[in-house]
Amino acid sequence: HIFQTSLILLKVFSIYSIIMGYNKKSVSDLSESDLKGKKVLVRCDLNVPLDDKCNITDDTRIRGSVRTIEYLTANGAIVVVCSHLGRPKDGPEDKFSLAPCAVRLGELLSDQYEDVDVTFVSDCIGDKVSAAIKDAINGEVIMLENTRFYKEETKNDPDFVAKLAEPFDLFVNDAFGSAHRAHASTEGVAKLLSPAVCGYLLAKELEYLDGAVSKGEKPMAAIVGGSKVSSKITVLEALLDKCDKIIIGGGMVFTFLRAQGHSVGTSLVEDDFVDMAKAVLDKAKGLNKTILLPSDIVVADDFSPDANTQVVKADAIPDGWMGLDQGPDATKEQEDFLSDCKTVIMNGPMGVFEFEKFNKGTFGLVETLAKITKENGAVTIIGGGDSVAACEQSGLAGEMSHISTGGGASLELLEGKVLPGVAALADA
């Protein structure tokens, strides 16, 4: 078979079957005797960005699915991939079709092996799916159309779940980015198909994110940034319980500065969360843990890439100016603060890194993470969303220990919430 030569390598690099705190089975627990001739439904995260002509502009998520698919085909399974893409409102829409993803997946599978065609089916349930699977041979790859073309998908409707699961023998969930959703293709089918196990990508996410928080080497630090306290307060409180050090950055800094009684000019402040910020600071003090806020701020006279700027002390932001990045002193202090850390989790940027004038704080911090990864052997984890984009833009994403593929899922896992798409899988 075209993938047979990769089988030994894949087994050598297989992930442990016990996935940290979740204690779930993974695809590496399944042997050739478990898989040969079996029809396997694989839930991938193919929610990729497309341009106006439906060309894929970033294939990272498709690339992330390849390893699991290779392993299954190498062991003789008939692999059927399903996913969602975007948020279609009323049934099928061409701009949300997974057809381009099927083409790209075939190209990626063909990069290392002979030509591979991924058969695309223009539905995800019903006669078309059954016919395609009936005609398939061992080792073939099929991709189904967008599961969200049916409104029943997000409702986890039992009848839809039964139709989706009906042609298959077992289930592999490799879609960490959707694992926090109790949808038909993430949680529903896992209850009907046995075994239901983690794919390599999902297992790796759990190994790093869940493993780092529950069993990470000390000292452990968390970097929590982004624009709003309201979106990060739960994860901040959860990480404060588990980490030795906390860095707070981004727009949420100014709510904390207000909580300390400082003037913040026209900077973003969530007045409803000032008391919550005070409570977090008090909690840290009671736990004898340090929260590091920036000592200096890059302020601007307008929210614009061309705004006039100046660097001021964090407690001396002038009226009419807004903070859009941390200053150079803050970046140096963060480097010293993290120098002895063995585990660091970053969730959120330090400023408006999309504007060149305000990207130095975020990029400087990313440089520090790259340094301690290389020189100290620290485990550095970038927990989804804007943090990943910032690492990519800095050119240092490859220097991190792990870049998470999940935004909301990463956040909820760090908060300590149960992910329905993981909880439904078979225990090890």
Active site residues: 61, 228, 385, 408
Burial class (CB in 10 A: 0-12, 13-18, 19+), 113: middle
Q: Write out the H or E segment, with its range, that includes residue 186.
A: none
Q: Could you say which DSSP state residue 391 is in?
A: H
Give one DSSP letter per residue of 280-330, joined into a string. Answer: HHHHHHHTT-EEEPPSEEEEESSSSTT--EEEEETT-PPTT-EEEEE-HHH
Beta bridge partners of 345: 222, 381
Give one DSSP letter per residue of 324-388, joined into a string. Answer: EEE-HHHHHHHHHHHTT-SEEEEES-SS-TTSGGG-HHHHHHHHHHHHHHHHH--EEEE-STHHH
Give one DSSP letter per residue of 21-43, joined into a string. Answer: GG-B-BGGG--HHHHTT-EEEEE
CB 118 within 8 A of CB 143: yes
Q: At what angle do helices 360-376 and 328-338 cross, to 10 degrees?
A: 20
Task: Single out the residue of 186, 157, 156, 150 nearest to residue 42, CA to CA.
Answer: 186
Amino acid code (one letter) for 236: L
Q: Could you say which DSSP state residue 178 is in?
A: G
Task: Single out the residue of 41, 28, 30 nearest to residue 167, CA to CA.
Answer: 41
SS3 content of the chain, % helix, strand, coil (to 5): 45, 15, 40
**Strand 402-403 relative to strand 196-198, pairing:** unpaired
